[in-house]
Every structure is written in structure tokens, then in C-alpha cells.
Amino acid sequence: MTPTLPPPPCGVAVFIRGSAIGLCLALSPPPLWAGDWSWQLQPSMTRFQVLEYGAGGSRLVRESGWIPGLALQLERQQEWGPTGFVRLESQQGSIDYAGRTSLGQAHSTRTDTRRLAVSLGLEHEMALGPWPLGMVLALSHQRWDRDIQPRGSVRGLEETYHWSGIRLALGPTWRQDGRTTRLRLGVQRPLEPRLEVKLDVLGYGTATLHPRPRWGPYAELSLRRDAGTDSWLGLVVRYDEQRFAASDRVTLYSGTHSLTLREPELENRQLQIGLTWSRRL
């Protein structure tokens, strides 16, 4: 029996409505959202590390590896007030998997990882000392596909995470001789995460679990310098950590057989290094 998937959670609907309002503000004529448009292209490499923990805190699974990515960001800086931005980001690659089977035997393979994220945010700087203090508020929606590959007699497993999220960060900005350095430190939290586990090969269809969201750290250091009248080159180092507590339990049925699932506590740690090229429109 294949469980019926629930409608999109209210957090996703809130994100969609909030994004629509933000885009309307961003695209509205002056003076409501006056300023200069610019876009940014960012190729990157990201160190993915996924950790799963059992009830006693013991580590069950460790996945790690580098995967390439690409981001496109569009922003509009006002003559007054905050800067608004919209960012699209995609990452895809294969990383190492080391864990245990359901029988407790050590198992190693590869995991195909795909991540797609769209975010909408505001950044505002205030002069509170020798350097401006910047504050960032961003909403995002992310999809993370985790395809653990089969190896030998051990079957693979396909999981897909969906969640909206909120990020809050602040830090100083230094500007001198056409160079800009920004440091932002903060926290982030998934909102109403949903996990889909595909078990068609076992005859159970797709299970939907709901991991519990937790706060995680966020840090970003960016360096940028003028590369012409209307363009800039830069380097970005970013670290963020998505944290999920153990999910609820779900029991599936296939004929006279049943299967109970529960996703353990999970941390998705990402260290990203990227090059940026920005240009004023």
C-alpha cells in the first residue's frame, strides 16, 4: 500500500506568499524600492558532511565529500533602507558513505547528492562604530535528494528532504580602496521539514516522515574588489549546518507484512568555497 502524501505544509505556503510579496516590492517602481540592480554568478565547491546519530548519541552514518555547485543572485541596492536579493543555487555530486546495515554490519558505498535552494532576503547596514554593522534576514526553500547507492547484496535507499527555512545573521563590513570585506555570523532553522523515503523495491511505496527542526550555526566571510566601473570579483567562504532531531515513527503495510520507520537525528554540514563575479545591470 502506498501512503497518500499530505498537502504542502503551511510553512511552504507562508514562504511562497512571503516571496511573492518580497518580489512585488523588489520590482515596484521608485521611490518604494529605488536603487541599482546587479547580478552575481558564483561557481563553488562544497564539502558535504552528513552525520546520523542513534538514541544514545552514537554515530550511525557518516557521509563526506566535495561536490560542485553554481549560484545566481539578483539584488537591488536602495539609496535608503535595506538591500533585497533573490538567490538560486544548485549542487550535485557523489560522496562517500560509511554506515551500518539494519543488521548492524559495517557498510560502505557512495551517495549521489543533489541540492536545490531558492532564497529571498534583506540586508541592511547601520553605522554603529568605526565599521558598519550589517544584518541579514533571509527565507529559503530547499530540496535535498540523497540517493544511497546499492552495493553487493545491500540495497540502496532514496530519500528526499523538503523544508523552508529562516536565517538571521549580523557582522561588520570593512571598505577601503575599492575592496570590501564582510563577515556575517548567525543562526538558521528549518521550518516544517518533510522527508520522503522511497521503498517501492520492497513493496511499501513511499513513506513520509517529519523530522523535528533545530537551530544550527551559520557563518560567511566574503572578499570583493573592483574589477571595472560596473563589475567586481570576489571570494566567498561559507559554513552552514542544517540540524534535524529524530522524526516520528511511521508504520507501512504490504500484504501481511509491516515495516516501521524512524529517521534518526541528522546534521548536514556544508563548507563552501566560491568565486564570485558581479556586474551592475
pLDDT in tens, the chain (281 residues): 333 334 444 444 545 555 545 555 444 544 444 568 999 999 999 999 999 999 888 899 999 999 999 999 999 987 667 889 999 999 999 999 999 877 778 899 999 999 999 999 999 998 877 789 999 999 999 999 999 999 988 888 999 999 999 999 999 999 888 899 999 999 999 999 999 999 887 788 899 999 999 999 999 999 999 988 899 999 999 999 999 999 999 998 888 888 899 999 999 999 999 999 999 98
In contact, 214 and 243? CB cutoff 8 Å: yes
In contact, 246 and 264? CB cutoff 8 Å: yes
Rounded CA-CA distance 69/1 in Å is 37
Handedness of CA 61, 274, 68, 115 (dihedral sign): positive
Rounded CA-CA distance 5/7 in Å is 7
Q: First-to-last CA distance in the chain?
A: 53
